[in-house]
C-alpha cells in the first residue's frame, strides 16, 4: 500500500480532537480550525503550535508528502523556521525549512543545507507543496514541487542522520518550535510511502473532502444507546453517546453524505472510526465497505487497547467491487462501517 494517510481537517469538532488522529505527542498550542482552501470542503488548520506529528507510518525508504500551505503571518526568530520533518522515530532525517525574509524553501539534512529553491511563497496566497525523500546515506533523493512544478531535484545525497535508511513518520513544526510568532495554514494533506504499483509517486494538487454519516446502513449489529438509532449515535459528537459491541465479527455499516466537490481522480478513501475499550482486554477491529449486499472487510486489523477514544484510520485505495480506482458514484452508493473482529 502506498497511500498511508489523508487529512482535510474538515471532520474535527475542535483542535483538541486532532491529536486522536495524529500522534498524542503533538503540541498544537493556540492553533485554530478555520475556513479551508476550498470553502465547501470545510476547515483547514491555522497552525501556531510546536508540532503536529503523525502516528507511526511504518518503516520505508521513501515517503512523499503533499499539502496546501499558506503563510499567514509567520515571523520566526532569525527569519527561518522548519515546516516539515521526515522522521526516523524521534530523529529528523531530512527537513523542509522556510525563510520569511527571502520567502523561499530550503531542504536540509540536520543543519546542512542540501538545496534552496527560487520560487517566492507570497504571504496570504495558497501553494500546494509536495516533497519526496528517499532516505539513504549515499544515494538519497529529495524532490520538491510547488504547484506541481519541480523546485528542487537532488540525487546522490546523504539524507539521513541516523544509521537507518528509513523514514517512519512526519512532523509539521510551528513558530512555537522555531521561536518567534505567527501562523500558517495547512490543508489537503496526503502521505505516501512510495511502495506498490498505485499511488507510489507525486499525486499533484489534491483536495480532501470529508464525508459524514448521513443515515442508517443495512447492517446494524452494534448496540446503540437508548433513544438513538445506530447512525444517530455516530452523528452525535458527545463522548457519552456511542454504539457498543461485544463478541466476534460484529458489523455496523452506515450511509454517508454524497461527495459535493470531488468527482474525478480519486486516489483513495480513508475510513476513520473513533473507538475505545470499555474493559481491560485488547480488541481487534477492521473497516467495512458494503457495496450492494456484500460486506467487504479490510484484510488488516488494528488493535484497540485504550479506554480513551482514539481515531483508527483505514485506507482503501481502490473500489473492492471493481478492483480499480474509486469513482464518485462508487463512493456515493457504498456504505462504510466497522467490524469488531474479536
pLDDT tens by residue, 147-195: 999 999 999 999 999 999 999 999 999 888 878 889 999 999 999 998 9
As given in the structure block, the three cell numbers for residue 122 are 507570497
The candidate with the shortest Cα–Cα distance to 146, out of 200, 198, 103, 111, is 103
pLDDT tens per residue across span 23-64: 988 999 899 999 999 876 679 999 999 999 999 999 999 999
CA–CA separation, 74 and 280 (whole Å)? 45
Burial class (CB in 10 A: 0-12, 13-18, 19+), 327: middle
Q: What values do phi and psi take at 234, rounded to 5?
A: -70, -35
pLDDT band at residue 78, thresholds of 50, 70 and 90?
confident
pLDDT value at residue 1: 60
Q: Would you give the end-to-end CA distance of the chain in angstroms?
A: 24
Name every residue whose Cβ is closer than 8 Å to that of residue 297 and which is 6 or more positions away in sequence.
251, 286, 287, 288, 339
pLDDT value at residue 64: 98
Residue recorded with cell 503536529: 52
* DSSP per-residue string spanning 162-225: SS-S-B-EEEEE-HHHHSEE--EEEEEEEEE-S-SSSS-S---S-------EEEEEEEE-SBPP
Helix (H) or strand (E) holding 332: helix 328-333
As given in the structure block, the three cell numbers for residue 189 are 494533506
Q: What values do phi and psi take at 17, rounded to 5?
A: -70, -10
CA–CA separation, 319 and 296 (whole Å)? 10
Q: What values do phi and psi take at 249, rounded to 5?
A: 50, 55
pLDDT value at residue 33: 95
pLDDT value at residue 179: 80
pLDDT value at residue 247: 94
Lowest mean pLDDT among 62-66, 222-226, 276-280, 315-319: 276-280
**Mean pLDDT, residues 127-136 taken together:** 98
Q: Say whether 235 sits in a helix, a strand or coil.
A: helix
As given in the structure block, the three cell numbers for residue 137 are 546515506
**Mean pLDDT, residues 56-73 taken together:** 97
pLDDT value at residue 40: 63
CA torsion sign, 13 to 38 to 210 to 202?
A: negative
pLDDT band at residue 238, thresholds of 50, 70 and 90?
confident
Q: What values do phi and psi take at 329, rounded to 5?
A: -65, -35
Q: Residue 37 in contact with residue 188, Cβ under 8 Å?
A: yes
Lowest mean pLDDT among 12-16, 106-110, 130-134, 216-220: 12-16
Q: Say whether 87 sits in a helix, a strand or coil.
A: strand
pLDDT over 90 at 216, yes or no: yes
Give 77 or 334, the one with higher predicted confidence.
Answer: 334
pLDDT value at residue 173: 95
pLDDT over 70 at 200, yes or no: yes
Give the chain's mean pLDDT. 95
Residue recorded with cell 470499555: 278
CA–CA separation, 85 and 171 (whole Å)? 5
pLDDT tens per residue across span 258-270: 999 899 999 999 9
Amino acid at each position: 500500500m502506498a497511500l498511508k494517510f489523508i487529512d482535510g481537517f474538515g471532520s474535527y469538532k475542535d483542535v483538541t480532537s486532532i491529536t486522536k488522529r495524529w500522534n498524542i505527542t503533538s503540541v498544537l498550542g493556540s492553533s485554530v480550525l478555520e475556513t479551508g482552501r476550498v470553502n465547501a470542503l470545510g476547515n483547514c488548520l491555522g497552525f501556531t503550535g510546536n508540532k503536529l506529528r503523525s502516528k507511526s507510518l511504518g518503516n520505508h525508504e521513501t515517503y512523499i508528502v503533499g499539502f496546501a500551505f499558506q503563510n499567514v503571518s509567520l515571523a520566526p526568530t532569525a527569519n527561518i523556521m522548519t515546516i516539515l520533518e521526515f522522521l526516523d522515530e524521534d530523529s529528523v532525517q531530512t527537513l523542509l525549512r522556510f525563510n520569511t525574509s527571502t520567502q523561499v524553501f530550503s531542504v536540509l539534512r540536520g543543519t546542512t543545507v542540501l538545496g534552496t529553491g527560487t520560487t517566492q511563497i507570497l504571504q496570504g496566497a495558497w501553494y500546494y507543496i509536495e516533497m519526496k525523500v528517499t532516505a539513504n546515506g549515499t544515494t538519497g533523493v529529495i524532490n520538491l514541487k510547488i504547484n506541481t512544478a519541480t523546485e528542487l531535484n537532488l540525487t546522490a545525497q546523504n539524507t539521513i542522520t541516523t544509521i537507518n535508511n528509513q523514514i517512519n513518520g512526519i512532523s509539521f513544526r510551528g513558530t512555537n518550535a522555531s521561536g518567534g510568532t505567527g501562523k500558517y495554514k495547512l490543508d489537503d494533506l496526503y502521505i505516501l510511502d512510495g511502495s506498490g504499483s498505485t499511488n507510489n509517486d507525486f499525486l499533484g494538487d489534491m483536495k480532501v473532502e470529508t464525508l459524514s454519516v448521513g443515515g442508517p446502513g443495512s447492517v446494524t449489529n452494534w448496540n446503540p444507546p437508548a433513544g438513538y438509532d445506530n447512525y444517530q449515535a455516530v452523528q452525535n459528537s458527545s463522548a457519552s453517546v456511542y454504539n457498543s459491541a461485544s463478541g466476534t465479527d460484529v458489523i455496523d455499516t452506515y450511509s454517508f453524505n454524497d461527495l459535493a466537490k470531488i468527482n474525478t481522480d480519486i486516489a483513495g478513501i480513508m475510513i476513520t472510526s473513533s473507538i475505545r475499550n470499555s474493559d481491560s482486554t485488547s480488541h481487534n477491529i477492521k473497516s467495512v465497505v458494503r457495496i450492494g449486499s456484500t460486506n467487504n472487510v479490510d484484510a488488516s486489523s488494528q488493535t484497540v487497547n485504550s479506554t480513551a477514544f482514539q481515531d483508527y484510520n483505514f485506507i482503501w485505495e481502490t473500489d473492492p467491487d471493481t478492483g480499480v480506482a474509486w469513482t464518485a458514484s462508487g463512493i456515493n452508493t457504498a456504505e462504510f462501517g466497522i467490524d469488531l473482529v474479536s
